[in-house]
Amino acid sequence: MPSQANTTGRQATAAPFAIELKGISKAFGPVQANKDISIAVPRGTIHGIIGENGAGKSTLMSILYGFYRADSGQILINGTPTAIPDSQSAIRAGIGMVFQHFKLVQNFTVLENVVLGAEEGALLAGSLSKARRVLADLSREYELDVDPDALIEDLSVGHQQRVEILKALYRQADILILDEPTGVLTPAEADHLFRILSGLRDQGKTVILITHKLREIMEATDHVSVMRRGTMVGTVKTSETSPEELAELMVGRKVLLEVDKGAANPGKTVLSVQDLRVRDEHGVERLKGVSFDIRAGEILGIAGVAGNGQSELLEALGGIATATGRVAMNGSDLPLSGPAANGQTRREAGIAHVPEDRQHLGLIMDFEAWENVAFGYHNAPEYQKNALLMDNDALRADTAAKMERFDVRPPIPTLAAKSFSGGNQQKIVVAREIERNPDLLLIGQPTRGVDIGAIEFIHKQIVALRDAGKAILLVSVELDEIMSLSDRIAVMFDGKIMGFRDPETTNERELGLLMAGVSEGAA
Amino acid sequence: MDYATLLQILDSTLRLGTPLLFACLAGLFSERAGIFDIGLEGKMLMAAMCSGAVAFLTGSVWLGLLAGIAGSMVFAALHGVASITFRGNQLISGVALNFLASGVTVLVAQRLFGQGGRTPPLAGDARFNEITLPLTEALRPVPILGPLYADVISGHALLVYVAILCVPLTWWVLYRTRFGLRLRAVGENPAAVDTAGVSVKGLRFAAVAITGLLCGLAGAYMATALQAGFGREMTAGRGYIALAALIFAKWRPWQALGACMLFGFFQALALRPDVVTAVVQVKIPVPFLDALPYILTVLVLAGFVGKAIPPRAGGEPYVKER
């Protein structure tokens, strides 16, 4: 049954819609990415599109931006049927797109990036000076401050995103589409972005916000459309819905947004860290002497804005980075530098590591799932056929079993890692590490880029491991995740631990201050 | 070493640096657009053979030049189709074209002229002759600068001056025009160009065509100006030296001029072992001097010139992603 867009704004059909999609369908081979999608976006609103990874949000927006052509259906821009065969037509129709992965030239200035493709004539001088004037006006109007002469590679991610927005506005976009814009931003940068977006709306622009984060939808949008498996499940007014309802629409079943966990029952100390320090390749100290213990059956959550030493902490404990200080695992010291400080000896000591960046450190994207499941544990006796050969059949069978237990979809061990969605990639890594029954699990950003159904699953696995009496070090930039999973919270700022808090008694404001480097004395 | 000898060596430097400069700028356009081109050598060789043969057959160096450019551009087009349209491996395509050029030039020249893969010697209007710049004799008495003008700067084939003029022209195109901005962008991040509504393929083919044109000039200069006719393998690795110079210059036009002239200088030294011996007071074997430009090439490629960051999208075929 084709689903109909259930626009609550139907009574207001007199108001012109900035965008209307009617019966859009798109298939890639046998996969129906979009099935008869209809949606109407009123002018001057922020419209959220939410759905799990693979629900077809990005395909739909790519059709709107001329990257793909729909197999059937119609696009109306401001009430006029418009064909969008390529990006140039989309730009002409007043559509601007801010991609999840920015499309900026790293060693160009902001100005050069803005004029690229929208130059005035064959020579650059005129285009650049015009862009400089326009940019100055736009920055004033929309809180979009960026130095026009800065190189992109010197800008923070948040500023790079502003350049993308400026690019669209410079091309006189009336409709701005943002694909997962906050995935790379700090909470403060995300708040700033939402202020910019509401400024744009107040000036009559139409904004489409694609995300899988419920909180952003609730905070920033006027209407929200929910997609599930290529279909449009419904469109509702944001003020008339709740995160729970949206989650249920997205996943198609009730979802627990709160982590269901009982009281911790900590045992003996598993990991003891004293005065751990890490320098980066430039000799700058990134981790400036941190000390803590983790006990069996306990989750220690490390909160902090990205880049305050959390990554270095994980890498030092995981045997990837060289460190100084003292780390004892189950009472015996671990080597922190030299050839003995590596992932292999860490695994032998009972430490499993789910790295922050699964695509670079956790998986080899071109390798198949079963090969990825073997990494690090490829010398395990059950994977050997004889002294010389590995038992690939056993490995594939083992992978299939792990996929079954961790609900990896599709459960095909011979599929390349890159062919899985972000959430399923993460489940493969988590399955590999947890199934070895480690005494200590290091887990970084467990749910970054992971959809809501998989988040619930991964959280359950972490809690189950704790309840089995294991120690867990959780690093996450998502404060919600830290607050709901941790038994104890340590807040890091500038390479140091600002303090420990009990999640039962602390709150976001207190943690936020610590994350900003304001210690209790000053607060 | 006296001043006159120095001037002779500088004169040879300019003469020998010219084909390197054409080829280096050719590589610059291609690589700045994200297409690695190891086939500069093959394109030069094609151009040398085509220009030498046509110049001999027609007696016109201009027709020879056009033929050389055409031959080089056919090879450039092949490289473009392989690496842009079919997203093939750019190194393999370049190497294959070099082999093809090495064989096909000798084959054609042998079929046409039956002189062991050479073209007959060119003379008169079939060659680019030396141009004496105005005021040469009037300025000669000026101390230092007069002989420099008369013996080094004046008295070269037209293409030498064209090559030098190509340097500011390349700089201007790259940094002052819309085409240059887009060209540099497509070599750094083709997705940025694509989403800005500009054709990645169109830009890259344009860049590859310019590479063909400049390699054509390089090869034609070899056969019709530097020497009088085509000989088998006459480019002798200059395409690779030009690539090394391009890395040395970190893909920038003025620095390319300097790098190419440095390599040209070493080649000029190899022609004057007597001078080298007189200067260093030790007899250096001639083969070693001959090898100097190549040794320098190896050193440059081994990274002794500091960190050279190639265009980020270099060598990667562009596949549109969502």
Same domain assignment for residues A279 and A354? yes
Token match 């259906």: residue? A73
Q: Which two tokens stand for residue A440?
A: 């200590």
Domain ranges of chain B: 16-128+144-236
Q: Which residue has the higher pLDDT, A119 or A67?
A: A119
A172-196 mean pLDDT: 86
Same domain assignment for residues A321 and A419? yes
Separation CA A279–CA A275 (nearest Å): 13
Same domain assignment for residues A428 and A405? yes
What is the band of A19 on the pLDDT scale with cuts at 50, 70, 90? very high
Angle between helices A452-467 and A243-251 (to 10 degrees): 100
Chain B residues near residue A67 by CB distance under 8 angstroms: 320, 322
Separation CA B194–CA B202 (nearest Å): 11
CB A293 within 8 A of CB A269: yes
For residue A410, whether the previous peptide bond is cis, meaning omega lies within 30 degrees of 0, is yes
φ, ψ at A19 (rounded to 5°): -135, 135
Is the CB of B87 inside 8 Å of chain A's CB atoms? no
Do the chains contact at B195 and A97, CB–CB below 8 Å? yes
Of A63-67, A347-351, A509-513, B241-245, the range with the lowest mean pLDDT is A509-513
Q: What is the pLDDT of residues A370-394, one digit of tens each?
A: 999 988 888 888 889 888 899 999 9
Average pLDDT, chain A: 88
Do the chains contact at A99 and B195, CB–CB below 8 Å? yes
Statement: residue A182 has pLDDT above 50? yes
Statement: residue A11 has pLDDT above 50? no
Of B177, B184, B197, Cβ closest to residue A117: B197
Q: Name residues whose C-beta falls within 8 Å of residue A483's C-beta, 6 or more positions apart in sequence.
A: A301, A489, A503, A506, A508, A511
Do the chains contact at A127 and B178, CB–CB below 8 Å? yes
Q: Which of A242, A150, A196 is nearest to A46 (CA)?
A: A196
For residue A82, tell me if it sits in a domain.
yes
Same domain assignment for residues A299 and A342? yes
Statement: residue A143 has pLDDT above 70? yes
First to last CA, chain B: 65
Do the chains contact at B197 and A88, CB–CB below 8 Å? yes
Question: Nearest chain A Cα to B188, which residue?
Answer: A105
Phi/psi zone of residue A338: left (φ > 0), alpha (ψ -120 to 50 degrees), beta? left
Statement: residue A229 has pLDDT above 80? yes
Tell me what pLDDT residue B321 has.
64
Q: Which of B311, B38, B29 is nearest to B170 (CA)?
A: B29
Instruction: Among A147, A172, A197, identify where a domain stops.
Output: A172
Nearest-Cα distance to chain B for A124, in Å, is 5
Tell me what pLDDT residue A57 has.
87
Strand ranges inside chain B, DSSP E? 130-131, 156-157
Tell me what pLDDT residue A410 has.
85
Distances (CA, A) of B223 to A409, A469, B19, B27, B56: 64, 81, 10, 20, 11
Question: How many DSSP H helices and E strands does chain B contain?
Answer: 14, 2
Q: Which residues of A touch B (CB under 8 A)?
A: 58-59, 62, 65, 67-68, 86-88, 90-91, 97, 99, 103-108, 112-113, 115-119, 121-125, 127, 167
The angle subtended at Cα A422 by Cα A418 and Cα A428, nearest 5°, is 75
CB B241 within 8 A of CB B292: no
Separation CA A407–CA A431 (nearest Å): 10
Same domain assignment for residues A14 and A152? no
Q: What is the pLDDT of residues A22-77, one digit of tens each?
A: 999 998 877 788 999 999 999 999 999 998 777 888 889 989 998 888 999 999 99
Q: How many domains does chain A have?
A: 3
Of B193, B195, B322, Cβ closest to residue A58: B322
Do the chains contact at A118 and B196, CB–CB below 8 Å? yes
Same domain assignment for residues A164 and A17? no
What is the band of A190 on the pLDDT scale with cuts at 50, 70, 90? confident
Tell me what pLDDT residue A3 has.
40
Separation CA A174–CA B286 (nearest Å): 71
Distances (CA, A) of A427 to A226, A357, A411, A424, A446: 24, 13, 11, 5, 9
Same domain assignment for residues A233 and A276? no
In the chain, the amino acid numbered B260 is C
Q: Which residue has the higher pLDDT, A478 or A325?
A: A325
Question: Nearest chain B Cα to A119, which residue?
Answer: B178
Prediction ipTM score:
0.90
Of A86, A105, A122, Cβ closest to residue B178: A122
Altogether, the residues listed in chain A come to a count of: 523
Do the chains contact at A87 and B177, CB–CB below 8 Å? no
Do the chains contact at A124 and B198, CB–CB below 8 Å? no
Same domain assignment for residues A429 and A511? yes
A337-351 mean pLDDT: 91
Instruction: Among A172, A207, A226, identify where a domain stops.
Output: A172
Q: Name residues whose C-beta falls within 8 Å of residue B143's C-beta, 6 or more positions apart in sequence.
A: none
A97, A99, A116: best to mutate for the B interface, most B CBs within 10 A? A116
Statement: residue A225 has pLDDT above 90? yes
- Proportion of chain A above pLDDT 90, given as a percent: 59
- Taking only the tens of pLDDT, chain B with its 322 residues reads 789 999 999 999 999 999 999 999 999 999 999 999 999 999 999 999 999 999 999 999 999 999 999 999 999 999 999 999 999 999 999 999 999 999 999 999 999 999 999 999 999 999 999 999 998 889 999 999 999 999 999 999 999 999 999 999 999 999 999 999 999 999 999 999 999 989 999 999 999 999 999 999 999 999 999 999 999 999 999 999 999 999 999 999 999 999 999 999 999 998 888 888 888 888 888 888 888 888 888 887 787 667 778 899 998 899 876 4
Do the chains contact at B197 and A99, CB–CB below 8 Å? no
Please give the torsion angle defined by the CA atoms of residues A168, A171, A176 and A178, in that order, rounded to the nearest 10 degrees: -20
Tell me what pLDDT residue A418 has.
86
Statement: residue A158 has pLDDT above 60? yes
Same domain assignment for residues A156 and A234? no
Q: Which of residues 191-220 of B touch A (CB under 8 A)?
A: 191-198
Separation CA A461–CA A456 (nearest Å): 9
3-class state of residue A292 by DSSP = strand
Separation CA A180–CA A213 (nearest Å): 9
Q: Name residues whose C-beta falls within 8 Å of residue A381's C-beta, 6 or more positions apart in sequence.
A: none
Do the chains contact at A127 and B196, CB–CB below 8 Å? no
CB B73 within 8 A of CB B213: yes
Do the chains contact at A122 and B320, CB–CB below 8 Å? no
Nearest-Cα distance to chain A for B248, in Å, is 19
Same domain assignment for residues A228 and A204? yes
Chain B residues near residue A62 by CB distance under 8 angstroms: 322
Chain B residues near residue A117 by CB distance under 8 angstroms: 182, 193, 196-198
- For CA atoms B296, B298, B300, B304, the dihedral sign is negative
**Cβ neighbourhood burial of B70 (10 Å; 0-12, 13-18, 19+):** middle
Number of residue pairs across A and B with CB atoms under 8 Å? Answer: 74
What is the band of A516 on the pLDDT scale with cuts at 50, 70, 90? confident
Q: Name residues whose C-beta falls within 8 Å of residue A350's C-beta, 6 or more positions apart in sequence.
A: A329, A330, A438, A439, A440
Nearest-Cα distance to chain B for A297, in Å, is 43
For residue A398, tell me if it sits in a domain.
yes
Angle between helices B200-221 and B238-248 (to 10 degrees): 120
Nearest-Cα distance to chain A for B82, in Å, is 24
Do the chains contact at A124 and B193, CB–CB below 8 Å? no
Tell me what pLDDT residue A58 has.
83
Do the chains contact at A103 and B192, CB–CB below 8 Å? yes
Separation CA A325–CA A276 (nearest Å): 4
Separation CA B16–CA B204 (nearest Å): 30
The angle subtended at Cα B36 by Cα A363 and Cα B164, nearest 5°, is 145
Q: Name residues whose C-beta falls within 8 Å of residue B2's C-beta, 6 or more positions apart in sequence.
A: none
Range of the domain at A403: 269-515
The rounded Cα A430 to chain-centroid distance in angstroms is 17
Tell me what pLDDT residue A15 has.
52
For residue A101, tell me if it sits in a domain.
no
Residue A11 is classified by DSSP as G
Tell me what pLDDT residue A148 has.
95
Residue A55 is classified by DSSP as S
Q: Name residues whose C-beta falls within 8 Å of residue A105's C-beta, 6 or more positions apart in sequence.
A: A112, A113, A116, A152, B184, B185, B188, B189, B192
Of A86, A124, A167, Cβ closest to residue B181: A124
Q: Return the CATH number at A290.
A: 3.40.50.300
Tell me what pLDDT residue A2 has.
40
Instruction: Among A196, A222, A251, identify where a domain stops.
Output: A251
For residue A225, tell me if it sits in a domain.
yes
Please give the torsion angle defined by the CA atoms of residues A179, A217, A510 and A490, in that order, rounded to the nearest 10 degrees: -50
Same domain assignment for residues A357 and A485? yes
The rounded Cα A355 to chain-centroid distance in angstroms is 14
Same domain assignment for residues A244 and A284? no
